[in-house]
Amino acid sequence: MPMEEDVSALMRDMLPPTDAEPPIPNFLSGVRAGGARRRRYRRLGIGAAAVATGAVLVGGTFGVLALAPGDDRPATSGPAAAPPRTELPSAVEPTIPPPPGSPIDNTTRKHDVLIAAFRANLPPGVVKIEDQDPDDDTLFFKLTRSDGSTLTLEAGVGPREEAGAEPASECDRGPSYDKLGALMPPYTDCVRALLPNGSKSVTSKFARSQDIIVSLRFITPDGIPYSVRSSTRDKYGTVMTGQPLTGAELFALAANPAVFAALPPTHAGPADHPANEG
């Protein structure tokens, strides 16, 4: 036991005194201070990055440079530096005529030629002629008399027949019926005659209620059949206010060399029967 006490005393003597121990450094305060500094640095970095990003976005969006007050230097990039836009007037589509010889061109020429011939040779009392459809192959015209009443005039040509043939007379037909099965009134005023150019012709008249059609059909010596007719309905079925031309007036038109020369050389004629039967 004495020896153990001596050893314990010896070891105590080898250790430094308690008041000689160096103080333990306060790491916690340093850690707190360092953390605060790093957080300030991060906030400053984030703020600086945000300012830089905002400047880039503002510059990219508006394309302008930050100028000092009173700085009148021109912008060097972006839309602000582009020259002002000049609005050009909208282009007007040009009107392109149909090529010569095309179907549209041929139809237009037929209308123009024939209406000019009719206009120069209108029957007495007729003061105006209008084309009802210049773009259609059917040659259908509206006439106006001096009293304001209206009527129609139509012309056309059919398939070639035998040379020297005579046109069939409507009066030679048997009974006919409309779409509802009602008996149609017969044709009247069928008169055959010879045109000055040798064409054989026949006139006829159909009348039922408001529908009155007077027609002249003739065939040239070489077999070309033509028809000229007048009625109380226009191309679209509208009832006109006046009476149609007479057979004698139609004959006078067809006998006129200028009108005959203006008749179309291709099929564009009215049907053989009234267009508004029924």
pLDDT, tens digit, 9 for 90 and up, residues 43-94: 444 444 444 444 444 444 434 333 344 444 555 555 555 555 555 555 444 4
Q: Is there a contact between 187 and 173 (Cβ–Cβ < 8 Å)? A: yes
The pLDDT mean for the chain works out to 73
pLDDT, tens digit, 9 for 90 and up, residues 178-193: 889 999 999 999 999 9
Structure tokens at 220: 């040239």
- Each domain of the chain, given as residue ranges in start order, spans 27-64, 103-262
pLDDT, tens digit, 9 for 90 and up, residues 23-34: 544 444 544 445
| Residue 17 in this model has a pLDDT that exceeds 80 | no
Look-up of token digits 């027949």: 161
Structure tokens at 142: 């509206």
Rounded to an integer, the average pLDDT of 240-258 is 96
pLDDT score for 34: 52
* Alpha carbons 235 and 252: distance in angstroms, whole number: 23
Rounded to an integer, the average pLDDT of 248-257 is 95
pLDDT score for 38: 53
Rounded to an integer, the average pLDDT of 212-225 is 95
Instruction: Tell me the pLDDT band of 241, cut-offs 50, 70 and 90.
Output: very high
| Residue 278 in this model has a pLDDT that exceeds 90 | no
* Alpha carbons 25 and 230: distance in angstroms, whole number: 127
Q: Is there a contact between 223 and 160 (Cβ–Cβ < 8 Å)? A: yes
Write a three-state SS string for the chain: CHHHHHHHHHHHHHCCCHHHCCCCCCHHHHHHHHHHHHHHHHHHHHHHHHHHHHHHHHHHHHCCCCCCCCCCCCCCCCHHHCCCCCCCCCCCCCCCCCCCCCHHHHHHHHHHHHHHHHHHCCCCCEEEEEECCCCCCCEEEEEEECCCCEEEEEEEECCCCCCCCCCCCHHHCCCCECCCCCECCCCEEEEEEECCCCCEEEEEEEEECCEEEEEEEEECCCCCEEEEEEECECCCCCECCCCCCCHHHHHHHHHCHHHHHHCCCCCCCCCCCCCCCC
Give Cα separations from 19 to 12, 14, 15, 23, 257 (angstroms). Answer: 14, 15, 12, 9, 149
pLDDT score for 277: 43
Query: How many of the other CB atoms lie within 10 Å of CB of 199?
Result: 21
| Residue 208 in this model has a pLDDT that exceeds 70 | yes
Q: What pTM did the predictor assign? A: 0.58
How many percent of the chain have pLDDT more than 90?
Answer: 43
